[in-house]
Structure 1
Amino acid sequence: MAQRDESLAVKIAAMVLTLAAGWLAQKAVGMIWEKSTGHHAPTDLDDDEITVVQAVTFAAVSGGVAVLARRLTRRGVVRAAARITPKPPPA
């Protein structure tokens, strides 16, 4: 496993942007769920009015979108930090 050598600023930026991306992803999944099913996105997956298929589908979709948002955000922050960070002169 490769060891990551990141500055504190990169770690903080990744954390803040990941939280923002997660919030946006949650809103997007909710809107898409409402448009496609005609119902509000479930907030309590243990609710008796929600079928097992709906609960599993919503959990899978929202989990997948959350992982995707997290990975893309982190990758973007690391790339941006690499562009901004001055490179040492060749020896």
Structure 2
Amino acid sequence: MADTSTATVDKIVGLAAAGVAAIVAQKVVGLVWKASAGHRPPKPEDDGDNAVAEIIAAAAITGAVMAIARVLAARGASRVTARLESR
């Protein structure tokens, strides 16, 4: 029974950590993009004045950073719950 509750807590903590990491990653990508390109990254609701290459680059960079942040957050949350369980 303890394994099930631990797995549930691990999933909940991992989900929360991944969500926070995704928000932070999105903000970081936006800030870095603005610093390097001079404007915010293109969004889907933008009119269409952005080059296709810029849209593809923004999507690829954002997706990669978000995926890495979520994985690292989930792994960190798993380690934290494992440490708390061992106490």
TM range (shorter): 0.7 to 0.9
> Could you say which structure has the greater relative contact order, defined with CA pairs below 8 angstroms and 6 or more residues apart?
2
Structure 1 unaligned segments of length 5 or more: list them: none
Which is helix-richer, 1 or 2? 2
What's the CA shift string for 1:19-59, capped at 9, x where partnerless? 11100000000000000000112122774201011001000
**d(CA) in 2 for partners of 1:28 and 1:82?**
29
The answer to whether 1:56 aligns with 2:31 is: no
Say what the alpha-carbon RMSD is for the aligned residues: 1.8
Q: Which runs of 4+ in 1 moved over 2 A?
A: none
Structure 2 unaligned segments of length 5 or more: list them: none
Q: TM-score, normalised by structure 2?
A: 0.85
Whichever of the two has the greater Rg, that structure is 1
Aligned length: 83
Give percent identity, aligned residues only: 34
